[in-house]
Structure 1
Amino acid sequence: MTVVHHDGLLQKVIHSLSDHIAVLDSEGCIVFTNQAWNRFGAENRCCQESGWEGVNYLEACDEAARTGDEFGKHAAIGIAKVIRGEERFQLEYPCHSPSEKRWFLMNVVGLEHDRCRYVAISHVNITLRKLAEEHAYNLSMTDGLTGLFNRRHFDNFLSDEWKRCARLRLPLTVAMIDIDHFKLLNDSYGHQYGDQCLIKVAGVLKGYARRPSDICARYGGEEFVLVFGNCTTDMMRQELDKLMDEIRGLQLPNANAPTAGTVTVSIGVSTQYPLPRTKESIAVGEADAALYKAKQGGRNRIEFLN
């Protein structure tokens, strides 16, 4: 039988794992990290210049909790309990980047070594499972006609994005979109044609919700809504002008409409800087008020409110 030097082998095994692993002492300070932990920190600009050893991870979670991060709060409480003697703790949490959605499972396990208490933490990437769950969830949250998210999902998304922007002090922009003279279109051409117009307009709109912090939804009837996290009206003006032109470019007949002979839309836009303990309904209300002004101003136009 081959004799193996276990310490060296275990080091290689731990550093070969894709899970991000750290070991904390009884004060919550990091005493060890594997290469996956270090690599993730470097790639996401959260690495420590002098290395991770000595960094108090428990304090970092507490600091995140103080900024309103609920997952940071739960992590801090769970890790503290394991340090005090509980066997283990688990937490699933999102960790989205600007370009992709990501989820992790935090496993926290207590252990004793040389009469000292330590805590081993691993962060396991569970993105594939969460994306599959999200797909199944989205099927129940999708508008059957247009394929866009429905009102129920929109309300949940806006609530979460409002809280995120409040925590990070980021702007949030809401655009309410209404198809001009849609009732007249239905009366003139029939509801089947009206449905086809809704589908085609929705096909244009969904191309403008490109990031994890964006959403496009059917708000109700001929009304749609777009949300852009970490965006202001100034940042979105050119995009929304392009959206208007793209819908006009569909050249969908609406011959009896007084604004134009083809389908057009009116858009109301509002930017808010969410504050803790405020409601996301503010953003929708302001965008709806802007949409009303756009309609009163002749339709087929955009009205901005800040």
Structure 2
Amino acid sequence: MGYGLSRRITAMLAIAGLAFFLLAAGTCELLASTDRDGPAFKDIAYGSDARNRMDIYKPPGAGPFPAIIYVHGGGWWNGDKQYLAANARDYMLSKGVAVVAINYRNLVEAKRDRIFPPVLAALEDTKSAYGYLLKNGGSLGIDNTRLAIYGASAGGFNALWLALSINEDGSLQAIKAVGGIDAQTTIDPFEMRDWVGPSINYGGHAFGLPEADFQSFLAQRDKFLNYISTLSPSYLVRANSPPIVLLYSGGLQDQSSDHMALVHSPKFGAEFQKTAERNGHAVTFLEGAERIPARYSDFFNFLIDRVVK
């Protein structure tokens, strides 16, 4: 998929997500914006690259507040922290939870920086943003012992990777929950074909291959396997992983073979749930949100409940 088309599709998804959440909000309560003047802190630099920036939105009061980190989608090609849906943000703020929206380097910048596999730039930046909050959250009004993280599409992959990564220093214990909206849960081409079906044509770009050349991705899987085993959430989920919630706009009964429908297929969630269960971990899987918008509220309440406790 070309850069321009991917960017337009990502923007459409962001707008669609906001529309769904607006509908979902109507089923539970009317949401009044608690943050009309924008973020409390804008474009905080958490790293040296121009893309290493975060915005922090805080509810009224002195704090410190638990926080939920938002990681935007865009297929690792593009996207922006401004994709954060306003009503989703305000809903979290209304529950006394701060919201942190981050940018990160994309594949073009990874190539510039000679990072391999290119997707590692996005993942490492997500980790750096989290590390910045651990170190500096207190001075920003954030309770850095009560954090959750979620993302949309590729951003969901980033969030899952971070939360499920094994760390020896215990720093990931601050992540009380992780969520993905329309997220890819594996970067293994064998799993993608097995889970989603023979028509999926996605993922090789994470390793520097043409995005649409899935056959090359399959042919070179063994060469990438060491990376796949350390980057793919499906390989990382364990019994002691943090609570996980996965939400998909489409339903398992849908038959669409459209490229973007496959990229965001709920089968990524259903099969990941089975993998997690085999490893001793329960995953909350929500599908069909396009038909049942209230599931967006269920998704955000899952995250909120685990950081507010």
TM-score, length of structure 1 as denominator length = 0.23
**Structure with the larger strand share:** 1
Higher RCO (C-alpha under 8 Å, 6+ residues apart): 2
- Larger Rg computed on CA atoms: 1
TM-score, length of structure 2 as denominator length = 0.23
